[in-house]
Structure formats: structure tokens, C-alpha cells
Structure 1
Amino acid sequence: MSTPALASVAVGDQLPALVAHLTRAQLVRYAGASGDFNPIHWNARVATSVGLPDVIAHGMLTMATAGRVVSDWVGDPGRIRSYEVRFTRPVVVTDGPDDTAGATLEITAKIGALDEAAGTARVDITATFNGQTVLGKARAVVALA
């Protein structure tokens, strides 16, 4: 017998989409919080010297931002049982006057599978930047009851 939460969710259901804008100022704040001060995340000269087009967002910041589509939907981040991604492309965060350029991530998600016995749903996440997917096999498993 399904729990009421499972009964109201079906494979293929779309979660509300999320659009997130990342700026260089956010990258600096994330570096301070995470301790990852690699200059490819804040110094354009260093980033381009190693073959990047410009400064790139931290992979874990990109992952966390994409994960918001799930945590916003479930309402309680404690209901997220697992979350995994593969990093496929960098998110290039360009500069602009007063740090206005940045990068825009578009994040969508849908229910990919249900496990009635466990009372969970697998959520498949798509994160794109400039029309290209930046995370591969992005999935979260959430408790529905």
C-alpha cells in the first residue's frame, strides 16, 4: 500500500524549475566559506593562463545550486537521502560593471523513479549554462513520507 505522499507523485512529474545567477562576488564568498581559494575561481588572468575561457564557478557551488531545486521542492533538506552528480562542463562566470555579468544556471528536475518499498523517489536533475548541460547523471533520492 502506498503512502499518501507516494500516491501524489508519479514518474515524469516535473518539479518547479529554478534559475540561479552566479556572480564573482558569490564565488569569493563561497571560497571563504569552503576554503577553496584556487585562483581559477576569482582571477581571470590565472584562469585564462591554464586554458579556461574566464573564471569558473566551484564545482561544489554548482552542485549545491542545482540541488536547491530538490530541497525547495521537498521543503526539508533532511528528506534528501542521497545526491550525486558528474561534472561535465565548467560554469564560466564573466565579469561586468559592478559584477553584473556573472553566469545563469537553468535547473530543471523530474521524478525519474519511485521505490514504494523504501518510500522514496529518485529525482533526475538537469543543470544547463548557455544551453549546455554542466552536470551529468545528477540525481537525488528523497524520502516522500
Structure 2
Amino acid sequence: MSLDELTGRRYGPVQVQIHTGQVGAYVEATGDDPDRWRSFAPPSFAGALLFAVAPAFLADPIVVGEVGSVLHGEQTFTWHHPLEIGQPLSVTGSVERVRSRGGVGIIVFGFEVVGAEPVVQGRSTFVVSTEAAPTGEDGGEPDVAERGRNERASALEFPAAGAHIEPLIKSASRADLVRYAGASHDWNPIHWDHASAVAAGLEGVIVHGLLSAAWVTQAVARYVPGGCPIADARFRFRTPLRPGVETRVVGGVIDDVPGRFRVALQSDTGTHVTADLAVTR
């Protein structure tokens, strides 16, 4: 078997329903505003819906047999409707493209969430190892509860074109990563098991890409009221982020009609995520 044989494979449909309890756990794990998300899930909950079907892909015999580790390289989402609590949904996924060279594979995985009509769709770019990765330089782990500031995203007035957004400070402890994994079902071991992370070539466990994307989404969604504040987003995951490290979401408006933001998640160690988001206005 080879990775190329994955192309065209479909997974699902998986029937899900957005529950109040899961949304509450997700909002707490991502440090979002619990007062805002009572009737709807936040837009970044699309990542949890992705992981309604992604485990079937990760358990595919070809993936299990050929892939050593999985990293998230890029993610796009398009939201058509709010993620309403209580709404029954169907989630399907498929492998759209596969490229491999020199022990590294690039897998593009698309997914769609449908209720009475399309709700959200997305595309994940996974970077996978097809050969044993060099063991990472062991950087140890911070205390399980250690983290920096983790601000809530309070509502703000929409900024003018060219204006900078108010920085949003975010961080996650190792315990937060486990809470996020439980709320999103993203149990990739590089986010909670030190030995697995080092074996994948990392210094230690790293923050989930979709958790950092949730922080970026919060920084923009606070400027737009309602249950569906974001129309589309593209996230590029740059450098791994370790737990306990304090980050800030910075950036600004690049076009105020309909409202496009270009932002980045940064820390003193570098840039971890860059993103372009369009809001609904």
C-alpha cells in the first residue's frame, strides 16, 4: 500500500448533534466568552466537527501502516450558517490530494457539514512522516498547570480599514491541551504525550493547531455580533507552540468592505499562525 491510494477515499457520513455540554466544554477549553455562546457554538467549533470524521481517516489502514506522525500545515473553513446548538448534522470527509517525497507526505483532506442545507465546509492540509523522524531534542515539559495570561474576547467596535486590532493575549497549559482534546476529540498524542512528541521530532508536546486557530478566530469575531460572525478563514501553521508560552493575536483590517482581517499569533519565540479572515457584516 502507498499514500497515493488514499486519494478519493471518503469517510462518513457521521451523524452528530451540537450539544450544550460539548459547546460549554469547548468554550472553556479555548478561553472563549461563555456569555456569548449560549444558542450557538463559536465558529471555531468547526474544528470539533472536523474531528467527528477525521478519526476514521486517521484509522484508515493505509494511514496506520504508512504514517508515523501527523502535523497540521494549513486549514480553511467556510461558514454558511451559524452552528446552532441542538441542530442535527451530517459530517463527511474525503482525501482530495496526496503528494509524497523524501519521507514526507502532504495530504489534503476536505470535509463538509450539512443540516437542512450546507452549514460549514473546510479543507485540512496534513504533513505526515512516512519514514522514522529524527528524535527531537528533549526540551522537557512545563508544570501541568503552567500558563501565561489567557484573555476573554470582549465585544469591540468594528475598526476602520487599515486599523490595527486590539491585541488578544492567549496561552494554554498542558492541562488545557487535555481539556481541548476532550472537547474537540483531537487526541493526536503529540499534544499530550511527551514521548510521542519527541519521537515525532519535537522538543515536547505542542498546542493543537486548531486551538491556536480558535484564539485567532476569537480576536476577529469580537468585532462582529451574532451567531455567525466569520464567513471564511485560512490559517497557516508556522512554528510549533509549546504549552505555557504567552502569545498575542495581532494584525489589522485590510479591507473594510465586507471586512477582511490579516492577523498572526505571535510570541517572543516567533510567529506560530498567520491567517486571513472575512467577517459577515
TM-score (ref. length: structure 1):
0.77
Corresponding position of 1:107: 249
1:45-124 equivalences under 5 Å are: 45-93=195-243, 102-115=244-257, 120-124=258-262
Distance 1:104 1:36 in 2: 22
Corresponding position of 1:142: 279
Change (3 A) 1:109 1:75: farther
The structural deviation recorded for 1:10 is 2.8
**Gapped regions of structure 1 (runs ≥ 5):** 1-7, 94-101
Look up the equivalent residue of 2:166 and give its one-letter code.
Answer: P
Corresponding position of 1:5: none
Comparing both chains, which one has the higher relative contact order based on Cα–Cα distances under 8 Å and sequence gaps of 6 or more?
Answer: 1
Distance 2:226 2:250 in 1: 19
Cα deviation, 1:13-58, whole Å, max 9, x if unaligned, reads 1121100121111100111112121211011122112210111011
Aligned-pair identity in percent equals 31
Distance 1:44 1:81 in 2: 36
Distance 1:130 1:31 in 2: 25
Distance 1:77 1:15 in 2: 21
Change (3 A) 1:47 1:11: same
Distance 1:16 1:23 in 2: 23
Distance 1:65 1:80 in 2: 13
Look up the equivalent residue of 1:82 and give its one-letter code.
Answer: D
The structural deviation recorded for 1:9 is 4.5
Change (3 A) 1:77 1:54: farther
* SS of match in other structure, 1:33: helix
Relative to its length, the structure with more helix (as a share) is 1
Look up the equivalent residue of 2:252 and give its one-letter code.
Answer: K
* SS of match in other structure, 2:259: strand
Distance 2:159 2:220 in 1: 14
Distance 1:77 1:53 in 2: 38
TM-score (ref. length: structure 2):
0.42
Deviates more, 1:34-43 or 1:70-79: 70-79
Distance 2:254 2:216 in 1: 16
Cα deviation, 1:84-137, whole Å, max 9, x if unaligned, reads 1111111112xxxxxxxx12121112111133xxxx11011111133411113x
* SS of match in other structure, 2:222: helix
The structural deviation recorded for 1:63 is 0.4
- Select the residue among 256, 266, 270 that pairs with 1:132: 270
Corresponding position of 1:3: none
> Contact (CA 8 Å) 2:206, 2:241: kept in 1 or not?
yes
Count, aligned residues:
124
**Gapped regions of structure 2 (runs ≥ 5):** 1-157
* SS of match in other structure, 1:78: coil
Look up the equivalent residue of 2:246 and give its one-letter code.
Answer: T
Deviates more, 1:13-22 or 1:67-76: 67-76
The structural deviation recorded for 1:77 is 4.8
Runs of 4+ in 1 over 6 A off after TM superposition: none
Distance 1:55 1:91 in 2: 9
